Amino acid sequence: MQALKQYDGKYWKNLFDSRVGKTTWPYGSGVWSKKEWVLPEIDSDDIVSAFEGNSNLFWAERYGKEYLKMSDLWVKHCGISHTGSFKDLGMTVLVSQVNRLKKMNKPVVGVGCASTGDTSAALSAYCAAAGIPSIVFLPANKISIAQLVQPIANGAFVLSLDTDFDGCMQLIREVTSELPIYLANSLNSLRLEGQKTAAIEILQQFDWEVPDWVIVPGGNLGNIYAFYKGFNMCKELGLVDRLPRLVCAQAANANPLYLYYKSGWKDFKPVRANTTFASAIQIGDPVSIDRAVYALKNCDGIVEEATEEELMDAMAQADSTGMFICPHTGVALTALNKLRNSGVIGKTDRTVVVSTAHGLKFTQSKTDYHSKDIKDMACRLANPPVSVKADFGSVMDVLQKYLLSKVPKY
């Protein structure tokens, strides 16, 4: 920070703005366009990038107006990315550094991670691009097919283990302390350095105006801290003059941070995480708990939770207004809904919901919902296809009924 402070906020804003939309290596990446703040000493030739970042900040106009009575709602689509989740932002930094270490002949043979799905997809892709072996520990039967197929296709060595995420995490920590495998989990701060650029990017996309709220779904809790760090650096280095308030949104089935928050930060207890459609945040013993609490305390943050029905309904509502979000984003939207209902978030507050993965990675949960094939869930917004006989009369009948339901006097 001392070194970066030699330049003022205006210098940094101009520098970052001058790189947007260019292909000059490596600055076309939303992460490496902030290289001086991320990993300044790396040689550009050692960087492994897929031009991640620069993701769409979507004005959720219809969703905001119809479901939340608010006008200034934005969804930061971090999942529109190389492997379909925000994990790319951190993985480009970590794999670049490993690439550099290998060139310096350090004893690193491969890179390993435990994952709820998206981390392994990102790790495998970036390692494959650089020709570095990747090793992935996954909990058997707890991630989506789309997530599983990514590391397989990218040539990772995939171990499917009969335990949950927390069990995989424990094992990989033990294994990497014995073998020349570099540990790629988010307790590794290189990943958070990359992820924090999403916060800087949000400010940049608002022409360096600070939103009032930023809502982030949290599991292992690295990302909520990364957002805080990005915003806080912009404040400390004079690009903006305040911080947004952060909200961390958890699934009620995996809510150790929520319980800790509700206890007035008195008593942290890991929980046994239950199955949730938001499978990437099914974590009961988050490794970045201390960082998350530090972040939330320093920005007057809030923690909320979402039940399975709430998060699936929120996802279906958002989809019906033209988005195609993942269940984790449904958790964040539920948190927003609750804070709007309680009046904590006001009608005109500028609010950003962070969408963490692409909805196409979670089509099974959407299919189950729209087929009303989920136990103990009403699936109120299900929109199943209608089977019709393939003749003119039957098709006309069905269409006329449909049009009447849209415009009663049609």
Ligand X SMILES: *Cc1c(COP(=O)(O)O)cnc(C)c1O
Q: Which residues bind ligand X (CB under 6 A)?
A: 85, 87, 118, 186, 217-223, 280-281, 326, 328, 356-357
Q: Based on CB atoms, which residue is closest to ligand X, 150 or 356?
A: 356
Residue of 302, 311, 261 whose CA lies nearest to 281: 311
Q: Based on CB atoms, which residue is closest to ligand X, 239 or 323?
A: 323
Quote the least distance from Cβ 77 to ligand X, whole Å.
Answer: 12
ω into residue 408 within 30 of 0, thus cis? Answer: no
According to DSSP H, which parts of 208-326 are helical?
Answer: 222-236, 256-262, 289-298, 308-320
Quote the least distance from Cβ 198 to ligand X, whole Å.
Answer: 11
Quote the least distance from Cβ 185 to ligand X, whole Å.
Answer: 9
Quote the least distance from Cβ 225 to ligand X, whole Å.
Answer: 8
Q: Based on CB atoms, which residue is closest to ligand X, 12 or 227?
A: 227
Helices and strands counted in the chain (H then E)? 16, 10
Q: List beta partners, residue 93.
A: none
Quote the least distance from Cβ 299 to ligand X, whole Å.
Answer: 16
Q: Based on CB atoms, which residue is closest to ligand X, 252 or 280?
A: 280
Quote the least distance from Cβ 146 to ligand X, whole Å.
Answer: 12
Helix, strand or coil, per DSSP, at residue 325 = strand
The answer to whether the CB of 216 falls within 8 A of the CB of 223 is yes
Helix, strand or coil, per DSSP, at residue 341 = helix
According to DSSP H, which parts of 83-221 are helical?
Answer: 87-103, 118-130, 145-153, 165-176, 189-195, 197-205
**Strand 351-355 vs strand 73-77: parallel, antiparallel, or unpaired?**
parallel
Q: Based on CB atoms, which residue is closest to ligand X, 171 or 382?
A: 171
Q: Packing angle between helix 308-320 and helix 363-370, nearest 10 degrees?
A: 90
Q: Based on CB atoms, which residue is closest to ligand X, 26 or 119?
A: 119
